[in-house]
Chains A and B, each alone.
Chain A
Amino acid sequence: MRRFRAAVTGAVTLSLAFAATACGGGSATGGGDDSPKTLTYWASNQGASIEVDKKVLQPELDKFEKQTGIKVKLEVVPWSDLLNRILTATTSGQGPDVLNIGNTWSASLQASGALLPWDEKNFDRIGGRDRFVESALGSTGAPGQDPAAVPLYSMAYALYYNKKLFAEAGIAEPPATWDELVTAGKKLTAKGKNGIGVEGSNLSNNIHQVFVLGKQHGADFFTPDGKPDFTSDGAVAAVKQYVDLMAKHKIVAPGNAEYAQNQSLSDFSKGKTGMLLWQTASATFKAQGMKDEDWGVAPAPVQSGEPGTGTATNSMVAGINMGVFKNTDNLDGALKFVNFMTSDAEQKILNKAYGSIPPVKTAQSDPAFGAPAVAVLRDTLATSATALPQVPEESQFETVVGTAVKELFADAAAGRAVTEQSVREKLEKAQQQMPKK
């Protein structure tokens, strides 16, 4: 009898254990609702923390519920998880109804077929395509296809600098070219400060920087027919120029090689670093106790002359797009929600809260977006920012080239030489890791 009882206990325990494991697995939560009165929304983490995002978004969602009677279940997803969560949702078909995506992923996610295409009819539901700024529309999917998402928040890179440290080092003007930036950086390091901060272990940030430098060297990282082209002379020069800020010019502290959690922003806020290339950093500076008058903002540097298009590009088109999951059970509600979030009023409220620029033309006229700190970003976006390659392999490109740059920073930090040869080798390896079509 004892053995029999043991078998029973064992069986029950096992089933419980397996049930627990099944629950603990990374299955996608949420899912389309059969009820037309609810929507699930995955928001990307935009503010200083997830809690901040909830505080910003919840009142707006309540407003939407009051207007339409549709309740929106909000989940703020950290950046590090977002792409994986979307991929899981795509594979299982169990995703949210509406979601935020990084705009650089648009073409990759478009290729997966998981997102609702924004054809003329769908655009009409939210006031038409013409409401949006052209550069922001440029990163919503592959050219010639209906966009996979609509722009929600727009951002661009600018050069943030610490006014006090600049004064102490005798730097009168923020640098406008890379040579000037190196000179300013050396003056700062001579005073015991770090010249400029980088996030050496953050793959996406690495890509944003080397993509812009690539543009300035006439390289695109992809051929016009969409094949990876990571080893062109321009691409090698771009990557080398970026890593040389640490390897050759020594104006980046070696410790930055392991930064991936925005530590360079804390260093800047604490007055350890004089310059930073970042997108919409003001809210974070404030959250970390830096006063608005202590920092200045200037257009990101170019090789020579004024920022503009082509080789005078000084930023990628950064931003967040809003997509609708194709298999939503509440398409009507989802479109209503996108319409609400991209309405003039909401665009003003949300972009003010996040320090970003509205991609909706009519909302941009609000005086809040004309303040000096934001105006630089707005003008950059309008005149000198270029969208990352809109190819399905963009996500892989971020991973493999971003990793190559990370490894080169690690070499530089360890005091190993970073040469044209070593840069080319890393980029060649990256290119060969791209899936063959």
Chain B
Amino acid sequence: MTITVASRHDKSGPGAQRQQDRPGARRTTRRSGRLRHVSLPYLLLLPALLLELLVHLVPMLMGIVMSFRELTQFYISNWSEAPWAGLGNFRMAVDFDAPVGQALLKSFLTTCLFTVCSVALCWLIGTAAAVFLQERFRGRGLLRTLFLVPYALPVYAAVITWVFMFQRDNGLVNHVLHDQLGIGGDPAFWLVGDNAFWALLTVSVWKGWPFAFLTLMAGLQNIPRDMYEAAALDGAGVWKQIRHITLPSLRPVNQVLVLVLFLWTFNDFNTPFVLFGKAAPESADLISLHIYQSSFQTWNFGTGSAMSVLLLLFLLVVTGVYLLVTSRGRKAKARA
């Protein structure tokens, strides 16, 4: 935005110079025209800004207010009258000796592990596919399209299909693993019990990696081909090219990609909700679903809001530190 306005100033420079030769009567018109030019972008951004306030900021502020209130079924039709709870909801959420806090901590740790695994796998598969499809070969277009299918499908339809596939008795997964490959004794459960974590991870990676692939493929287009040619002339093999040209050139793309994947995965609600319903198995109790259950299933909206606020703070801190570290790295590199 600032750039846009500054550029208007720059461009008005020569124009202003020209106008000086003209009669003074026209000066007012010129000034109001310039004012219009300067303020128009802001005016145009105003509806978006207002909607942004409505859609994001207002609910967020309401959530923060709710987290300080004892909001249960007795007050939901007139929640502004709910009694103040002070820090009670927060204390309850972080009291790790009591069941509510314990469950939240466990769910938080599960989510951290899940996010690290999911983001790492999405990134690895996405990078491998993008590098692989960089070379021209017959069928490349088809593969590129196919790889994007999981990203293009509506989440609900895709995940519900996975639910069918993960059914213990009639599902495709057990049919392949157990009946065809003969792995293990009894057919495994995927939607209840400990395996639920792996089922959730599978669906999350399946759903997430095409985004990494798409972003990295775009990033790869920006690397000049002659760098590779020069490296090849100097005798660098494929691995050396990837290590010394591809990955460093993709650094800025990766910085954004990893952050976005991290935030999306950490907050993912749709996947576990469609996969497990309202009560996820303990092994796959992601924090977003956990907070939903605390708020909407046990009608304890105050505690649920407090948990959301804590989650928001955590994500803000992590994002802040991440941006600080990566920008410092970039600056250091620029200096060198």
Is B a genuine binding partner of A? yes
List the interface of chain A (C-beta within 8 A of B).
1, 3-4, 6-8, 10-12, 14-15, 18-19, 21-22, 25, 80, 84, 87, 90-91, 93, 108-109, 111-114, 200-201, 203, 253-255, 257-258, 260, 326, 392, 395-396, 399-400, 402-403, 406-407, 409-411, 413-414, 429, 432-435
Alpha-carbon distance A257/B73, docked complex (angstroms) = 31
Alpha-carbon distance A403/B297, docked complex (angstroms) = 11
- Select one of B72, B192, B194, B297 contacting A406, CB under 8 A: B192
Tell me which of B37, B192, B277, B297 has the highest count of chain A C-beta atoms within 10 A of its own C-beta: B192
B74, A413: Cβ atoms closer than 8 Å? no
CB of B171 to closest CB in A, whole Å: 10
A413, B193: Cβ atoms closer than 8 Å? yes
A258, B278: Cβ atoms closer than 8 Å? no
Contacts A7-B45, A15-B47, A258-B189 given; indicate if A114 touches B299 (C-beta within 8 A).
no
B268 within 8 A of A: no
Sample 20 A-B pairs with CB under 8 A, ordered by A number.
A3-B7, A8-B44, A11-B44, A15-B51, A18-B51, A18-B55, A91-B77, A91-B79, A111-B73, A112-B73, A113-B74, A200-B192, A254-B189, A255-B167, A260-B277, A395-B299, A406-B192, A410-B189, A429-B99, A435-B72
CB of B164 to closest CB in A, whole Å: 10
B45, A392: Cβ atoms closer than 8 Å? no
Contacts A8-B44, A403-B279 given; indicate if A435 touches B300 (C-beta within 8 A).
yes
Alpha-carbon distance A21/B51, docked complex (angstroms) = 10
CB of A147 to closest CB in B, whole Å: 17
Please give me the 7 A-B residue pairs with the lowest Cβ-Cβ distance, nearest first: A14-B48, A18-B51, A11-B44, A410-B192, A432-B99, A399-B297, A255-B169
Alpha-carbon distance A159/B40, docked complex (angstroms) = 73
B44, A18: Cβ atoms closer than 8 Å? no
- Residue-wise interface mask of B (47-76) relative to A, using a CB-CB cutoff of 8 A (1 in contact, 0 not): 110011011000000000000000011101
B41, A90: Cβ atoms closer than 8 Å? no
Which residues of chain B from 91 to 108 have any CB-CB distance to chain A below 8 Å in the complex? 98-100, 103
Alpha-carbon distance A4/B186, docked complex (angstroms) = 65
On chain A, the residues within 8 Å of B193 by CB distance are 257, 410-411, 413-414
On chain A, the residues within 8 Å of B52 by CB distance are 14, 18
Contacts A7-B45, A91-B77, A402-B279 given; indicate if A255 touches B51 (C-beta within 8 A).
no
CB of A414 to closest CB in B, whole Å: 5
List the interface of chain B (C-beta within 8 A of A).
1, 3-4, 7-8, 11, 37, 40-41, 44-45, 47-48, 51-52, 54-55, 72-74, 76-79, 98-100, 103, 167-169, 186, 189, 191-194, 277-279, 281-282, 293, 296-300, 303
On chain B, the residues within 8 Å of A80 by CB distance are 277-278
A258, B298: Cβ atoms closer than 8 Å? no
Alpha-carbon distance A429/B282, docked complex (angstroms) = 13
CB of B309 to closest CB in A, whole Å: 18
B51, A413: Cβ atoms closer than 8 Å? no
B296, A84: Cβ atoms closer than 8 Å? yes
B73, A395: Cβ atoms closer than 8 Å? yes
For B281, the closest partner residue in chain A by CB is A410
- Select one of A3, A84, A395 contacting B4, CB under 8 A: A3
On chain B, the residues within 8 Å of A19 by CB distance are 51
A414, B45: Cβ atoms closer than 8 Å? no
- Select one of A10, A113, A203, A255 contacting B77, CB under 8 A: A113
On chain B, the residues within 8 Å of A109 by CB distance are 73
Contacts A3-B7, A392-B74, A402-B279 given; indicate if A11 touches B41 (C-beta within 8 A).
yes
Alpha-carbon distance A402/B198, docked complex (angstroms) = 24
On chain A, the residues within 8 Å of B189 by CB distance are 254, 257-258, 410, 413-414
B76, A91: Cβ atoms closer than 8 Å? yes
A112, B47: Cβ atoms closer than 8 Å? no
Alpha-carbon distance A7/B300, docked complex (angstroms) = 44
B55, A22: Cβ atoms closer than 8 Å? yes
A87, B296: Cβ atoms closer than 8 Å? yes
Q: A87-B296, A113-B77, A254-B186 given; name 20 further pairs at CB < 8 Å.
A: A3-B4, A10-B45, A11-B47, A14-B48, A14-B52, A18-B52, A21-B55, A25-B55, A111-B74, A203-B279, A255-B168, A260-B277, A392-B73, A396-B298, A407-B282, A413-B189, A414-B193, A432-B99, A433-B103, A435-B303
CB of A405 to closest CB in B, whole Å: 10
Contacts A15-B51, A22-B54, A429-B99 given; indicate if A258 touches B191 (C-beta within 8 A).
yes
For B3, the closest partner residue in chain A by CB is A3
- Select one of A201, A396, A411 contacting B277, CB under 8 A: A201
Contacts A91-B76, A201-B192 given; indicate if A435 touches B4 (C-beta within 8 A).
no
On chain B, the residues within 8 Å of A411 by CB distance are 193
Alpha-carbon distance A413/B192, docked complex (angstroms) = 9
Alpha-carbon distance A108/B40, docked complex (angstroms) = 53
A434, B298: Cβ atoms closer than 8 Å? yes
Alpha-carbon distance A90/B3, docked complex (angstroms) = 46
CB of B274 to closest CB in A, whole Å: 11
A22, B51: Cβ atoms closer than 8 Å? yes
For B166, the closest partner residue in chain A by CB is A258
B99, A4: Cβ atoms closer than 8 Å? no
B77, A7: Cβ atoms closer than 8 Å? no
Contacts A4-B4, A7-B41, A15-B48 given; indicate if A396 touches B299 (C-beta within 8 A).
yes
Alpha-carbon distance A257/B4, docked complex (angstroms) = 60
Alpha-carbon distance A203/B40, docked complex (angstroms) = 56
- Select one of B79, B167, B186, B278 contacting A399, CB under 8 A: B278
B73, A433: Cβ atoms closer than 8 Å? no
Alpha-carbon distance A175/B265, docked complex (angstroms) = 50
Alpha-carbon distance A435/B77, docked complex (angstroms) = 18
A400, B169: Cβ atoms closer than 8 Å? no
CB of A22 to closest CB in B, whole Å: 5
B194, A112: Cβ atoms closer than 8 Å? no
CB of A264 to closest CB in B, whole Å: 12
CB of B80 to closest CB in A, whole Å: 11
For B70, the closest partner residue in chain A by CB is A435
A433, B76: Cβ atoms closer than 8 Å? no
Tell me which of A8, A257, A403 has the highest count of chain B C-beta atoms within 10 A of its own C-beta: A403
Alpha-carbon distance A10/B100, docked complex (angstroms) = 44
- Select one of A3, A14, A108 contacting B73, CB under 8 A: A108
